[in-house]
Amino acid sequence: MSACQRWRTHVLSSQNHGAFHQSEIMYALGALCANSDTYACTKIEFEIQEKMSSYWANFAKILNPNIGGSYNGSKSLPHWSPNSADGIQVVMELDNQFKNVPIAKPKQVVFIMDYFHQHVPYWKRLPLD
């Protein structure tokens, strides 16, 4: 099974906390306007919101962020490449530019997977009643 992963680097122009955990929720759920009293948003941020919320809606509809008819922007929605065990590992950078960014070479992925497969999951170590 392949999975799409994201890496959000965009910071709201009116705050200085960086791209903090869950800060993408306003974008993904189309809620920038609802938070306009807290964050003054730019045209670019509304464009990011449109793309991001389209990815989320497409995924919810058909389990594929790239297709589903949710995007109505002037250009096409950038392709979000999925990860797979035998392919190049990438994340979609969600920023002023939306692009796939390689994060690991196949040998690095094998090393990491081998390392974690050596460990017994926590739930398997729990005592049975």
Q: What tens digit of pLDDT does each residue of 86-100 get?
A: 667 788 888 778 888
C-alpha 114, offset from chain centre: 25
In a domain, 91, yes or no: yes
Rounded to whole angstroms, the Cα distance separating 84 from 75 reads 27
Q: Residue 109 falls within a domain, yes or no?
A: no
pTM of the model: 0.68
Q: Is 27 within the bounds of a domain?
A: yes
Positions in the chain whose pLDDT score sits under 50: 1
- State which residues form the domain around 78: 6-103
DSSP symbols for 52-80: HHHHHHHHHHHS-TT-SS----SSPPPP-
Predicted local confidence at residue 5, as pLDDT: 54
CA distance 49 to 124: 41
CA distance 94 to 14: 18
What local confidence, expressed as pLDDT, does residue 105 receive? 78
Q: What does the pLDDT read at residue 1?
A: 40
* Contact indicator for 90, 99 with CB cutoff of 8 Å: no
For residue 122, tell me if it sits in a domain.
no
128 within domain boundaries: no
Residue 36: inside a domain: yes
Strand partners, 83: 3
Q: Is 110 contained in some domain?
A: no
Q: Is residue 43 part of a domain?
A: yes
- Count of domains for the chain: 1
Distance of CA 85 to CAs 26, 69, 77, Å? 31, 28, 25
φ and ψ at residue 8, rounded to 5 degrees: -100, 125
